[in-house]
Structure 1
């Protein structure tokens, strides 16, 4: 009997203003059994609201969060500043990764030095990158 593959994570959140990048990332996540449920946000403000509304409900929170840097109205860095003010329980449960097409070394360094960011990765999300996340 062949067992169905169990996704690595229950819920993954992607925050990116580019709908094509959102689509590619979500397909990569589902096709590689990385996440069972994928929350897609083109607005960092809406993503923060979701996290704030659910910070006391672990079952609704994503275990992995991918955030782009360059977005209108609220950048990924501004998102991370607000994210930093969320509950310590949420921040321990949700692992944040910065995903960007930037080649600016200052952006990469700023991402990697943020205490809430596990690591920086250049777009697009790849199977190899997902395989390294535990």
Structure 2
């Protein structure tokens, strides 16, 4: 039994995406994992998914430092999407950022459920399952 239907990973590091995807699958955390190296591509996917609510992800893992569009800009765009679509999607920052201001900003943002430091671990997945799984 999976804890979530669909998880989206957004990180410009393809190796990190592969490792996260493998862990999520091996832990039966989600039935489907979709990875993006570009935040813009993830937004396009989400906008398309918004027309089919059962296709919208239950959870997003988002990196902060990415080229072109960083995690903060992604959150601005995500926040502009209709609340009825995004309200059941849990957004988590998963980053190697060590700037304390980023952690404080992430934890204080109303769309961000929590901030976790890379790498993704079984412990992080268990914390999320206990708090947010349906």
Cα distance in 2 between the residues matched to 1:115 and 1:91: 12
Deviations 1:5-54 (CA, angstroms, capped at 9, x unpaired): x1111100000000011011111110001011001100100111111112
Cα distance in 1 between the residues matched to 2:38 and 2:86: 20
Query: After the TM superposition, which segments of 4 or more aligned residues of structure 1 sit over 2 Å from their partners?
Result: none
Larger Rg: 1
Which of 16, 34, 43 in structure 2 is aligned with 1:48? 43
RMSD of aligned residue pairs (Cα, Å): 0.8
**8 Å contact kept, 1:91–1:116:** no
Counterpart position of 1:108: 103
Cα distance in 2 between the residues matched to 1:11 and 1:104: 30
Which of 97, 117, 122 in structure 2 is aligned with 1:122? 117
2:65 is the alignment partner of 1:57: no
The aligned runs of 1:71-110 (5 Å cut-off) are 71-110=66-105
Structure 1: unaligned runs, 5 residues or longer:
1-5
TM-score, normalised by the number of residues in structure 2: 0.93
Deviations 1:99-122 (CA, angstroms, capped at 9, x unpaired): 000111001111111110000000
Q: C-alpha displacement at 1:58, in angstroms?
A: 1.6
Cα distance in 1 between the residues matched to 2:9 and 2:84: 20
Q: How many corresponding residue pairs?
A: 129
TM-score, normalised by the number of residues in structure 1: 0.93
Cα distance in 2 between the residues matched to 1:86 and 1:50: 13
SS in 1 for 2:93: strand
